[in-house]
Homo-oligomer: A and B are copies of this chain.
């Protein structure tokens, strides 16, 4: 994931730099001044880019705020697409998630925590973030269904993926509430414990 490759054409390098500066500065401004209180003009001013350029890099104000989320999901999808995935699906998906988390850029963790905190406190970001989860779910179901042929019940497959994502979000929520305690390992740990709770969750009494 650490693609600091200076071996790109100069144009690509510049563009990538701009992309990163936008995401980085956006996260800082949104956190410092608040999401609504920060206009895109403010952001573009700070990065010294025109608004038009912003929209060539990100589709919306929400998108740039959730860049760290997006990075994770796209890395995860890539991995699932090529991974072997043997044994119980739910377990395999979790293993792939752990592997993806370990492979993320060292700086990603900090950005991700800030993004999660922001997302918790801004409803529109929350919704948008859930939209990402949904898109990822859909893509995963397609990938997995295509791979195992028509042998697997579609509803069952979808349900598995939905439960996977629900567990991830539950773990993630707690991690964020703890201020990202334990860093990446802490998160992995919470994921493991949350998944272990699933059987209890199905049977626990009111």
Q: Tell me what chain A mostly uses at the interface: helix, strand, loop, or mixed.
A: helix
Instruction: Digitize A165-206: 1 where CB-to-B-CB distance is under 8 Å, 0 elsewhere.
Output: 111011001100000000000000000011001111111111
Q: Which residues of B contact A158 (CB under 8 A)?
A: 170, 173
A163 CB contact (under 8 Å) in B126, B202, B206: B202
Cβ contact within 8 Å between A201 and B127: no
Residue ranges of A at the interface with B (Cβ–Cβ < 8 Å): 85-90, 92, 123, 126-128, 130-131, 133-134, 144, 148, 152-153, 155-160, 162-163, 165-167, 169-170, 173-174, 193-194, 197-206
Q: Give the docked Cα–Cα distance between A205 and B149 (Å).
A: 13
Q: Which residues of B contact A170 (CB under 8 A)?
A: 155, 158-159, 162
Q: Give the docked Cα–Cα distance between A197 and B133 (Å).
A: 22
A206 CB contact (under 8 Å) in B85, B156, B193, B201: B85
Cβ contact within 8 Å between B166 and A163: yes
Q: Give the docked Cα–Cα distance between A118 and B90 (Å).
A: 31
Q: Give the docked Cα–Cα distance between A39 and B133 (Å).
A: 28
From known contacts A159-B170, A167-B159, A197-B159, infer whether A89 and B206 are also in contact, taking CB-CB under 8 Å.
Answer: yes
